[in-house]
């Protein structure tokens, strides 16, 4: 007998932002693998087994889940946001490629979700309203020089930039370096959005100009969106401003 592996995204945390498809996949699975706080977002029954693990053990988690599926279990791997964006889907593919041949014969399904930058953008207005990129600021899995190369290329070409994994205790200086690098390319007034815990009770969305962007405003639950030179702010009396990137761009190459 062969089991099945489904990789789902819970969305950013508000239960109303998890798709019915993800909820249905969770309802039919027997064993769950994921970072504990993400598993906590599901309402599991007493017959459903939790295998919680630490946030930085993606590959080991993927292997453990694949082994259980190969043994015949109905397995669900749980990501926050969307599983395909800096999350578990890539780790599962890495494990399958390097693993035993039988893992290639498993029924693997990936269920998309609302990734953090989309939820943050929705709360701020439409900062991703035109061309944009998503970049992990972590240099755990790539050299820092490559992060800088990508930041410079994206900002220089006019992409809005969404930064995932902006800062952590083990990576305290990278976000400040990124702001300093971008300050040499973008106007000092470029809007920077610190979007923390979008859609959750502890949500905090703040917009500041690049020249005043303080890395201390970010933590691991924050997605930072840095505008392009085209990104605009609409002030509104008594309300948070709307930050948006127009659909048109006049600048040429």
Taking CB under 8 A as the criterion, which residues in 9-38 touch a second copy?
A: 11, 14-21, 24
Under DSSP, the state recorded for 201 is T
Asked if 38 and 32 count as a contact pair (C-beta separation under 8 A), the reply is no
153/208 with CB nearer a second copy: 153
- Binding letters toward a second copy, positions 91-130, x by CB under 8 A: xxxx-xx------xx--x-xxxxxx--xx-xxx-xxxxxx
- Binding letters toward a second copy, positions 206-235, x by CB under 8 A: --------------------------x-xx
How many C-beta neighbours within 10 Å does residue 134 have? Answer: 19
Q: Exactly one of 40, 57, 74, 131 binds a second copy (CB under 8 A); which one? A: 131
Stretch in the footprint of a second copy (CB under 8 A) among 167-175, 181-189, 209-217, 240-248: 240-248
Q: Is 168 helix (H, G, I), strand (E, B) or coil?
A: strand
Among residue numbers 143 through 182, which ones bind a second copy (CB under 8 A)?
Answer: 143, 145-146, 148-150, 152-154, 156-159
d(C-alpha 88, C-alpha 77), whole Å = 8
Under DSSP, the state recorded for 165 is S
Asked if 121 and 207 count as a contact pair (C-beta separation under 8 A), the reply is no
Smallest distance from a second copy to CB 36, Å? 20
d(C-alpha 180, C-alpha 177), whole Å = 5
Closest CA to 79 of 41, 29, 117: 41
Stretch in the footprint of a second copy (CB under 8 A) among 35-43, 69-77, 169-177, 243-251: 243-251
Among residue numbers 51 through 70, which ones bind a second copy (CB under 8 A)?
Answer: 58
């Amino acid at each position: 007998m062969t089991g099945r592996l489904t990789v789902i995204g819970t969305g950013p945390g508000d239960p109303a932002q998890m798709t019915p498809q993800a909820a249905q996949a969770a309802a039919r699975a027997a064993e769950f693998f994921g970072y504990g706080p993400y598993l906590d977002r599901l309402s599991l029954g007493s017959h459903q087994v939790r295998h919680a693990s630490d946030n930085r053990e993606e590959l080991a988690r993927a292997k453990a889940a694949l082994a259980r599926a190969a043994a015949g279990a109905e397995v669900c791997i749980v990501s926050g946001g969307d599983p395909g964006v800096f999350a578990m889907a890539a780790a599962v593919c890495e494990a399958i490629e390097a693993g035993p041949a039988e893992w290639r014969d498993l029924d693997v399904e990936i269920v998309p979700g609302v990734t953090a930058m989309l939820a943050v953008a929705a709360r701020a207005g439409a900062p991703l309203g035109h061309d944009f990129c998503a970049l992990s600021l972590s240099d755990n899995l790539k050299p820092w020089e490559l992060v800088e190369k990508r930041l410079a290329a994206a900002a220089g070409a006019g992409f809005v930039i969404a930064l995932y994994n902006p800062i952590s205790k083990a990576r305290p200086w990278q976000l400040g370096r990124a702001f300093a690098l971008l300050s040499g390319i973008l106007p000092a007034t470029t809007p920077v959005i610190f979007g923390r815990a979008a859609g959750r009770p502890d949500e905090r969305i703040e917009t500041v100009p690049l020249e005043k962007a303080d890395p201390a405003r970010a933590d691991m639950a924050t997605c930072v969106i840095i505008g392009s030179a085209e990104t605009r702010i609409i002030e509104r009396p008594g309300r948070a401003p709307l930050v948006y990137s127009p659909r048109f761009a006049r600048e040429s190459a």
